[in-house]
A = this chain, B = another copy of it.
Amino acid sequence: MNTSSPSATYLGVPAASLDDPRSFSGADVVILGAPFDGGTSHRPGTRLGPHAIRTSDYLEYGGGRPSFLVSVDPFTELRVVDAGDVFMPPGDIEAALHRLEETVVAVAATEAVPVVLGGDHSIALPDVTGVARGVGFGRVAVLHFDAHADTADSQFGSAYGHSTSMRRLVESGAVRGDRLLQIGLRGYWPGSEVLAWMSAQGVRTFDMARVVRHGLDDCLDEAFAIASRDVDGVFLSVDVDVVDPGMAPGTGTPEPGGLTSRELLHAVRRCALELPVLGMDVVELSPPFDGPGEITAILANRIVLECLAGIAARRAGDPAGR
């Protein structure tokens, strides 16, 4: 954890305190920071992600954010608060993930939607588990945008890490294998054993070849249909590396051939407009590799905002946007 960051909140929304759950009672959305890179297998830096996601914008800090495309201001429609960073010791992944899970449980218990700013993708395990502990194991579908399946059996000899989180979620029963919906996969991983496990669990993948051939909207239609059956809602887990590294260089395990930023924002918007979002995380932003334009940080900021706008529009009775 980087305690030297000033305690800025996401775009200047009111602060809440993790130590005082009453401070976020009544909130519709609670932002949490998970400044952790103890679970990454390659370039570190995601511990600096939450601060960058919170502050990478050019509009007035603390002001409104009326969406041009969805015609709603999420900060008008929703009560959004930021409860700051969870304390996650970098050298103790089990303790770190445990603390995060307890925090997500506490937030979810208030009926607020937890939005977790990563951090590497190992945090999806506590993020989704925390939500599932509220609505019930097996009652939340996961919409997983990523270049990678994150279904390894172990990483560096440990059960925990950014490449194992989705496996652990299915194994524990927090998420049904056939309600794990992966969009954007590509590259040169995993091998046949892991693929066999995924297939046996009924994990549904929409890889980039499929996205190109069928169109992103068709893939989303199909995924959303599955994600609407026999669950109470969805958790949206967005790894910024689902976007092509040519447009999102600030990440640890970049794999060429991905979505454009525009496609991802479109997909996130549709998800939040069309499905009941119970929780969200945005992960794998690594600012040191982002370059002076800070484009990946800005993109990550907008992934969150686009989701909030969609939730706001949906609650305002406009499930299709304007």
Chain A residues at the B interface, C-beta cutoff of 8 Å: 1-9, 12, 37-45, 47-48, 54-55, 57-62, 64-69, 73, 87, 89-94, 96, 122, 156-158, 160-161, 185-192, 207-209, 212, 243-258, 260-262, 265-266, 288-295, 298-299, 302, 305, 309, 321
What is the total number of copies of this protein in its complex? 6
Indicate the member of A60, A190, A258, A262 with the most B CB atoms within 10 Å: A262
In the bound assembly, the distance between CA atoms of A48 and B252 in angstroms comes to: 12
5 new A-B pairs (CB below 8 Å) besides A212-B262, A244-B261, A245-B299?
A: A3-B61, A6-B9, A68-B186, A73-B188, A289-B294
CB distance from A199 to the nearest CB of B (A): 12
CB distance from A261 to the nearest CB of B (A): 5
Decide if the interface of chain A is mainly helix, strand, loop or mixed.
loop
Q: Is the CB of B6 within 8 A of A55?
A: yes
In the bound assembly, the distance between CA atoms of A96 and B92 in angstroms comes to: 11
| 8 Å CB contact of A39 from B47, B90, B262 | B90
In the bound assembly, the distance between CA atoms of A208 and B260 in angstroms comes to: 14
Q: Using Cβ atoms and an 8 Å threshold, which residues of chain B touch A54?
A: 6
Q: Is the CB of A249 within 8 A of B291?
A: yes
Q: Using Cβ atoms and an 8 Å threshold, which residues of chain B touch A40?
A: 90
Q: Is the CB of B191 within 8 A of A66?
A: yes
- Provide 26 A-B residue pairs closer than 8 Å at the C-beta atoms, listed in order of the A residue: A2-B42, A6-B6, A37-B44, A39-B91, A42-B58, A43-B48, A44-B47, A59-B188, A67-B187, A67-B188, A68-B185, A91-B91, A91-B93, A91-B94, A91-B96, A91-B161, A208-B262, A244-B261, A245-B293, A249-B294, A255-B302, A256-B295, A257-B302, A288-B292, A289-B293, A292-B292
